[in-house]
């Protein structure tokens, strides 16, 4: 869908209005700095987002005509106790304007490639640089614009506004663009977040970088941060599709690449192969987490999105044609190992990786037990126990987070729409899980040490054995309630 703000970005007055409509705390801080130096301009993503009608809680300010020492003194004078010299050697400072507002202040810099990795640059602050030269080091033209914090005037030395109007990513300086291979991943997350397309020559540059092995020098931490932005974007499939087209998926992510061309039963998956299904699931999951109430936190959103990405990684190893139909029996369990190897390439929290594995191995179970229940192969008591056992296997992953990934999978096919009512199988699961949660009947053992002590069981290891035996019988459905557990222990004690 086209952003309605795109068409007006070539109008200078409209651009001024959008810059000056940004957070007044940010603008006032930037103006304070600008009054104390020869020139200061808002730069980068702040300008891009403002022109697209988005608000920002942080901004970058580039200052000209002063030395590092001079800007240090100036900032300390005007923002006492709120300045952090995050990169003083390069002329980079951070101002805490308010609890939720930050302004990064930096001298224009010259960067030259001197070695591998993101540290392999020679960086020198140069207050004498022109605005055009300073902006040339930025990755894409839409990120190379600047704006005067006092007047809102936009300075566009590389055609960024025209590219923004067309929503196109174009390398600002093709000669310097390959110096930072992370720009390949930045392009992917920009495509996913904002709906950009990539200009053909820039696509060619990135393909050359991938085939030359330039991405080998990237740290896992830097890649993970870009993947986080991609996964939390409105349309993550667009970013993954670009990475596939550039050769990144085939080169660096064999677990995902293996999904391409793996057929599925058309009756259940008319959308096509597992890759296509996974891309639809990703976008569906993105919509689900954005509209969920209450809103999940960042780790929960990442868990859902990574669960959506990984849920069918076991299909390449298990898919086969049986009696003329495509089946992938056991793909849920088979997906755990490729999920682990994929997530090992990134540095997401270990708790997220643990929860994603739980989603992968359990994602078929809610629908599976519901079908048994509907077919009369599982009564109400057995179904309730089946839900309880799923919650037990998921812990400590909240079932609500798990169910978002499951719902995305069920809706992630050509025959389903994300706007339809909750699916019957998930509705039934929610009803039972909510009741179990309310009564604390899912995770807590039926019997405690105090219960067993009342029954005459002596304190010690034997208590743990009784609790284990009761829980095993609970899992098989032979015991459901605390009353039944107490009766079972009483009977067994009589036998002794």
What are the pLDDT digits (tens) for 55-86?
Answer: 999 999 999 999 999 999 999 999 999 999 98
d(CA 260, CA 484): 51
What is the structure's pLDDT at 493? Answer: 80
Q: Alpha helices, DSSP H only, in 292-378? A: 298-310, 315-318, 331-334, 336-343, 350-362, 365-374
| Alpha-carbon span 480 to 385, nearest angstrom | 8
C-alpha–C-alpha distance, residues 197 and 238, integer Å: 9
CB atoms within 10 A of CB 175: 9
* Angstrom distance (rounded) from CA 212 to CA 318: 34
**The predicted structure's pLDDT at residue 30:** 98
**Dihedral (CA of 289, 295, 299, 303) sign:** negative
Mean pLDDT over the full length of the chain? 91
6-166 falls under which CATH superfamily?
A: Beta Polymerase, domain 2 (3.30.460.10)
The 10s digit of each residue's pLDDT in 133-180 is 999 999 999 999 999 999 999 999 999 999 999 999 999 999 999 999
First to last CA, the chain: 73
Is there a contact between 404 and 292 (Cβ–Cβ < 8 Å)?
A: yes
- Confirm if 219 and 118 have CB atoms less than 8 A apart: yes
Give the pLDDT confidence score for residue 89 in this predicted structure.
Answer: 80
Rg, the chain, Cα only: 28
Q: How far is CA 423 from CA 261, 408, 420, 428, in A?
A: 28, 11, 8, 9
Element (H, E) at 74: helix 68-78
Domain spans in the chain, listed from the N-terminal domain onward: 6-166, 294-438, 449-495
CA distances in angstroms from 484 to 164, 194, 459, 466, listed in the order given: 68, 57, 22, 14
Q: Model's pTM, two decimal places?
A: 0.89
Query: Helix 236-246 crosses helix 220-231 at what angle (to 10 degrees)?
Result: 130
pLDDT at 2: 64
A 10 A CB-CB count for 429 gives 26
Cβ atoms of 352 and 346 closer than 8 Å: no
Which residues of the chain are modeled with pLDDT < 70?
Answer: 1-2, 111-125, 414-422, 440-442, 495-496
Please tell me the predicted confidence (pLDDT) of residue 472.
81
pLDDT score of 438: 83
| Separation CA 76–CA 343 (nearest Å) | 43
| Burial (CB count within 10 angstroms: exposed 0-12, middle 13-18, buried 19+), residue 65 | middle
Residue 20 has what pLDDT?
A: 97
């Amino acid at each position: 869908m086209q952003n309605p703000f795109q068409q007006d970005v070539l109008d200078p007055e409209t651009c001024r209005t959008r810059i000056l409509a940004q957070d007044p705390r940010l603008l006032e801080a930037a103006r304070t700095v600008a009054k104390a130096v020869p020139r200061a301009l808002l730069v980068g993503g702040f300008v891009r987002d403002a022109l697209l009608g988005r608000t920002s809680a942080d901004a970058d300010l580039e200052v000209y005509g002063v030395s590092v020492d001079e800007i240090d003194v100036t900032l300390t004078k005007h923002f006492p106790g709120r300045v952090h010299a995050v990169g003083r050697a390069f002329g980079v400072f951070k101002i805490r304007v308010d609890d939720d507002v930050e302004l990064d202040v930096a001298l224009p810099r010259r960067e030259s490639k001197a070695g591998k990795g993101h540290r392999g640059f020679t960086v020198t602050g140069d207050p004498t640089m022109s605005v055009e030269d300073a902006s040339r080091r930025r990755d894409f033209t839409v990120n190379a614009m600047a704006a005067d914090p006092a007047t809102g005037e936009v300075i566009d030395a590389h055609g960024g506004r025209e590219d923004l109007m067309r929503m196109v990513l174009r390398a600002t300086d093709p000669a310097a663009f390959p110096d930072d291979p992370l720009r390949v991943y930045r392009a992917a997350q920009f495509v996913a977040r904002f709906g950009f397309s990539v200009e053909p020559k820039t696509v060619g540059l990135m393909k050359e970088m991938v085939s030359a092995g330039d991405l080998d020098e990237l740290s896992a931490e830097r890649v993970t941060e870009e993947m986080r932005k991609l996964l939390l974007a409105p349309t993550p499939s667009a970013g993954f599709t670009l990475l596939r087209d550039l050769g990144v998926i085939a080169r660096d992510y064999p677990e995902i690449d293996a999904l391409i061309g793996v057929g599925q039963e058309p009756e259940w998956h008319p959308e096509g192969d597992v890759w296509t299904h996974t891309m639809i699931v990703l976008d569906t999951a993105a919509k689900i987490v954005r509209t969920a109430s209450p809103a999940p936190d960042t780790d929960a959103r990442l868990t859902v999105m990574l669960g959506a990405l990984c849920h069918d990684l076991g299909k390449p190893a298990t898919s086969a044609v049986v009696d003329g139909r495509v089946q992938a029996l056991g793909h849920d369990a088979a997906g755990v190992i490729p999920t682990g190897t994929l997530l090992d390439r990134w540095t997401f929290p270990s708790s997220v990786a643990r929860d994603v594995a739980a989603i992968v191995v359990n994602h078929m179970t809610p629908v599976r037990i519901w079908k048994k229940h509907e077919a009369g192969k599982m009564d109400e008591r057995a179904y309730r126990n089946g839900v309880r056992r799923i919650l037990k296997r998921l812990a400590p992953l909240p079932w609500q987070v798990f169910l978002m990934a499951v719902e995305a999978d069920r809706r992630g096919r050509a025959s389903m729409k994300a706007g339809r009512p909750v699916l019957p199988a998930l509705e039934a699961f929610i009803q039972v899980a909510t009741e179990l949660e309310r009564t604390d009947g899912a995770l807590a053992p039926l019997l405690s040490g105090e219960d067993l002590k009342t029954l005459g069981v002596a304190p010690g290891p034997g208590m743990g054995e009784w609790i284990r035996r009761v829980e095993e019988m609970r899992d098989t459905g032979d015991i459901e309630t605390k009353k039944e557990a107490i009766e079972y222990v009483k009977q067994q004690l009589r036998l002794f």
